Amino acid sequence: MSEQADLIEKQLDHARQAEGAIAAISFLDAHALLRIELTKQDFIESSHWEVYDTSRCLAATGPYVDLKKIRLELTARKSSVTDADIGRLVTQSPSPDDLEHYADIVRRVSIARQARAVLDKAVDRLISDVEPDSVSVLENAIRKIEKIKEPIAPRAAKIEILSLDDLEKSYPQEREPVLDGLIRVGSVMNIIAAPKVGKSFIASNLAFKLAASDSFLGFPIVRKGKTLVVDNELHRETLSQRYRNTREAMKVAHDRRGMLEFMPLRGIPCDITRLRESLKHVEPGTYSAIILDAFYKLIPHGVSENDNAQMGGIYTQLEAMANELATAIIVIHHSSKGFQGDKALSDIGAGAGVISRSVDAHVVIRPHEQQEYCVFEALVRSFKQPEPRTIKFDYPIWHLVEDVEAKVAQPKPAGASKREAEEAEHDRVIRDYLTENSVPQTESAISAALGITKPKVEKSLKRIGAYIAETETNRWGKGVLKWSLDPQYGDKFFKTDKVHNGTDFVF
């Protein structure tokens, strides 16, 4: 047994040296790491894994990575890697050309380690069970070992050149839609709205609809199935209550509860690279959709939301993840500050312009000109452009409103807010003045008492719904109106918008 133990230890030492070489290459050429893919369980030494994972993440999201940047990111991640560890690795100076060789060593030893662990558990079960089902135990162990071997297969898409005939023959039709008119399997969709509008409820509504319905806000659901909700904003108690309320309001059948799964990440550091790694072993096609709520918390430390190159790298990872898992990925993101009604759809969304250009569907929810509604609009890549539609949020459900035209609220003219505030103040003081005076008042009397010009008084009287109580003839023989808020004068009105002589008024 000692000879076997010595052989295993030599194997592990060989893997540690290969791990160290990979970690050292991180400092020499971090972008070279994008040629390989390893998991945390492939590494024996945690410090080697942390350097590899940190450097690869930086390389995937930025054009330039150096030793200082890696050290700062390790510190931000509260890594256990010390300056002594970094110094030891830097002195190795292996060639980046040998990276695949080192990665192959690490993978093979990792498989051997994991296979031994599976076999050890199988042996323990055979020994501990009174009447073990030997065939079942061994078959289960073989299945687990076969699954362990899967990560050896390269996950990067092959780069190739195809003729038109090959392209049409190999890909005769579009990918299967998830939401017909919006998004397909292997695609990424943004849902953009201002903070606190209720975009997270769009996500929860969609998740339940994918499990139990035929359409969502007028878009037919083609691929029903399980949904994974990755939530990094809500405490688990809040997440539970929100989805319970939504489920009960939508009257989702009890047997559909199992169609939703959650990955609560509030308080857990997890960027897009780490998320992709954590989902690496999920069977493709397990989920019809994966909802990421909210996107800004998945952006790696040090990556700028406004940098097109860096955000392009993030969305490339999202696209790869959608393909690897044969799912649709739905990103919940916030709009930029300020009024959105006068912007093009592709310009809505905080951060770099590539955020809207990279996706297959860019959904935007903006305020309707009628305050209680919103407008749902989308730019899509592989469908006919959908018409804008009016939607309404009645907590906790979003509804399609078919009888209200979808009109986005437009920005008010410059100075409108100040003018509206002034008009509101005029309305208030004139209303109070007429209420306090039981006798009907002329516009001149109101103007003199309150210091408001007569034209503004006239406009305010109409806004507040004042009644023409009577007219009197002034010394020039013109009819002068007297106004009141008393409803007894409600059946008296005048024909025109301007003050004329008394003959133009009808009583």
Domains and CATH numbers, the chain: 2-152 (1.10.860.10), 177-401 (3.40.50.300), 416-506 (1.10.10)
DSSP result, 283-311: PTTSEEEEEEE-GGGGSPTT--TT-HHHH
What local confidence, expressed as pLDDT, does residue 152 receive? Answer: 43
What are 289's strand-pairing partners?
A: 227, 328
Instruction: Tell me: pLDDT of 94 over 70.
Output: yes
Structure tokens at 170: 């190999």
Instruction: Tell me: pLDDT of 135 over 50.
Output: yes
More confident residue, 5 or 304: 304
The SS3 assignment for 389 reads strand
Instruction: Tell me: pLDDT of 31 over 90.
Output: no
**Nearest 5°: phi and psi at 421?**
-65, -40
Among 371, 401, 372, residue whose Cα is nearest residue 389 = 401
Mean pLDDT across 237-265: 91
Instruction: Tell me: pLDDT of 491 over 60.
Output: no
Of 36-50, 331-345, 417-431, least confident by mean pLDDT is 331-345
What local confidence, expressed as pLDDT, does residue 129 receive? Answer: 73
Locus of tokens 């780069």: 159
Instruction: Tell me: pLDDT of 344 over 90.
Output: no
Strand spans (E) along 428-491: 441-442, 467-473, 479-484
Average model confidence (pLDDT) across the chain? 84
Among 477, 470, 474, residue whose Cα is nearest residue 441 = 470
DSSP result, 223-268: S--EEEEEESSS-HHHHHHHHHHHHHHHT--GGGGGGEEEEE-TTS
Mean pLDDT across 155-175: 79
Mean pLDDT across 480-499: 61
Instruction: Tell me: pLDDT of 102 over 50.
Output: yes
Instruction: Tell me: pLDDT of 467 over 90.
Output: no
Mean pLDDT across 465-492: 74
| Percent of the chain predicted with pLDDT > 70 | 89
Of 33-37, 154-158, 206-210, 280-284, least confident by mean pLDDT is 154-158
Instruction: Tell me: pLDDT of 333 over 50.
Output: yes
